[in-house]
Amino acid sequence: MEALLSIVTGMLFMVSMYFILHRHLFKLILGLILFGLATNLFMFVAGGLTRGNSAILKQDQEVAIEPYADPVPQALLLTAIVIGFGLQAFAIVIIKRVYQVYKSNNLDDLANNDNIEH
């Protein structure tokens, strides 16, 4: 299962980089969203996949018995999801405003300063 998730993670990174290198702002945002998802999946796979006991110890145990779930990657993933959502929302608002001002979502058109409406 970990090998399959590793391959899927690599494919998500490839597709996200392909979209990030496009010249349209919508594809750039889509690439950033996919890059965040690929990073989250990478952290999940790197933390290890376990099916078994939780990381919480029972009253009669002193140490966790293998296999146990590592709570640190899970906590990092929750934080990364929230931060990624905030960045995506901010980027979408910025792109909407850029499109309203310049009437284009192509980065090559935006490089020309002749399109500026005052």
53-112 residue pLDDT tens: 566 666 777 776 766 667 788 888 899 899 989 998 998 898 889 888 888 888 777 777
The larger pLDDT score, comparing residue 81 to residue 52, is at 81
Residue 117 pLDDT level (bands cut at 50, 70, 90): low
pTM above 0.85, yes or no: no
> Residue 44 contacts by C-beta under 8 Å, 6 or more apart in sequence?
5, 73, 77
12-31 residue pLDDT tens: 999 999 999 988 888 988 99
Task: Name the token pair of 95.
Answer: 């792109």
Maximum CA pair distance of the chain?
73
d(CA 11, CA 1): 16
Q: Where are the domains of the chain?
A: 2-115
pLDDT of 113 reads: 60
Task: Name the token pair of 51.
Answer: 């099916």
Range with top average pLDDT, 3-7, 43-47, 106-110: 3-7
Q: Which CATH code is given to the segment(s) 2-115?
A: 1.10.287.3510
pLDDT of 56 reads: 65
User: For residue 64, which phi and psi values (nearest 5 degrees)?
Assistant: -70, 140
Q: Which residue has the tokens 């409406």?
A: 117
> Residue 14 contacts by C-beta under 8 Å, 6 or more apart in sequence?
none
